[in-house]
């Protein structure tokens, strides 16, 4: 008479009991992954694969290279040569760290390095280039930051790789470092050089 009281629940649905646990583990795993998933302040550029902004920027007064004044930024300069566009300012501390690396990169004749001088005073900008050497064949002065907004810049330094066809291929937020120069930037430059 002491028949055991059995659940009328079919055995096949027992696994549903574990569903909340499975859900929790999935969410916890996702959060853990994202916690170590890189710096969230580095936002991928919306301009990758798009043509470089058609923004003209004036030259830096008094800046000369081999006796010839260094020209300002004219978007036509991107056609035909792979470019590295560096947004910099003399007041930006990481820019001082990356300047010697850019100067070294400028020895590569397959590419041109273009500077956008962000909200800087001309005197300080010239002094900066005098101190570290001028890697730029073109320097556009962006006094009010409006030109940099066209480039989607939200903090200096930022470095772009622009292909021969004038489309933006890559954007590096933050300074060029010896580590990311070889592992990231040069790789992207090679890609742009070997691409169309």
Partner 1 sequence: MKKLFASLFIAAAVSAAPAAHAVQPDEIMVDPAKEARARDLSRELRCMVCQNQSIDDSDAPLARDLRLLVRERIASGDSDSQVIDFLVARYGEFVLLKPRFSPHTLLLWLLPPLALVGGGLALCFYSRRRSNTGNATDPSLLHLTEEEEAKLERLLAADAPDKKT
| Torsion-angle region of 133 (φ positive above 0: left; ψ -120 to 50: alpha; else: beta) | left
Residue the block writes with tokens 């798009």: 50
Site for partner 1 in 83-142 (CB under 8 A): 119
Please choose, out of 68-76, 122-130, 149-157, 180-188, the segment that lies near partner 1 by the rule CB under 8 A: 149-157
Which residue in the set 88, 128, 136, 151 belongs to the binding site for partner 1 (CB under 8 A)? 151
Q: Is 150 in the site for partner 1 (CB under 8 A)?
A: yes
- Alpha helical stretches, state H, 50-111: 93-105
Query: At its nearest, how many Å lie between partner 1 and the CB of residue 104?
Result: 30
Residue among 161, 153, 166, 162 at smallest CA distance from 119: 153
Going from the C-alpha of 117 to that of each of 15, 42, 73, 111, 122, the distances in angstroms are: 62, 21, 10, 19, 9
Which residue in the set 51, 58, 75, 155 belongs to the binding site for partner 1 (CB under 8 A)? 155
Nearer to partner 1, 50 or 65 (CB): 50
- Alpha helical stretches, state H, 56-167: 93-105, 122-132, 146-150
Q: Is 75 in the site for partner 1 (CB under 8 A)?
A: no
Q: Tell me which DSSP letter residue 53 carries.
A: P
What is the pattern of x (binds partner 1, CB under 8 A) and - over residues 26-45?
Answer: --------------xx-xxx
Residue among 120, 155, 149, 159 at smallest CA distance from 53: 149
Nearer to partner 1, 40 or 67 (CB): 40
Q: Is 24 in the site for partner 1 (CB under 8 A)?
A: no
Residues at the interface with partner 1 (CB under 8 A): 1, 8, 40-41, 43-47, 119, 144-146, 149-152, 154-155
């Amino acid at each position: 008479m002491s028949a055991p009281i059995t659940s009328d629940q079919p055995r096949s649905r027992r696994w549903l009991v574990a569903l909340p646990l499975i859900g929790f583990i999935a969410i916890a795993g996702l959060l853990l992954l994202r916690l170590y998933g890189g710096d969230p302040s580095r936002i991928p550029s919306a301009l990758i694969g798009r043509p470089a902004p058609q923004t003209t920027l004036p030259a830096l007064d008094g800046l000369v290279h081999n006796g010839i004044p260094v020209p300002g930024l004219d978007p036509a300069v991107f056609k035909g040569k792979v470019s590295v566009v560096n947004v910099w300012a003399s007041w930006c501390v990481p820019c001082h760290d990356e300047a010697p690396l850019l100067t070294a990169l400028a020895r590569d004749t397959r590419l041109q390095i273009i500077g956008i001088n962000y909200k800087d005073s001309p005197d300080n900008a010239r002094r900066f280039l005098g101190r570290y050497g001028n890697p730029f064949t073109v320097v556009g002065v962006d006094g009010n930051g409006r030109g940099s907004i066209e480039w989607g810049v939200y903090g200096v330094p930022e470095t772009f790789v622009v292909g021969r066809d004038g489309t933006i291929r890559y954007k590096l937020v933050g300074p060029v470092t010896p580590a990311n120069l070889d592992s990231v930037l040069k790789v992207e430059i090679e890609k742009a050089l070997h691409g169309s």
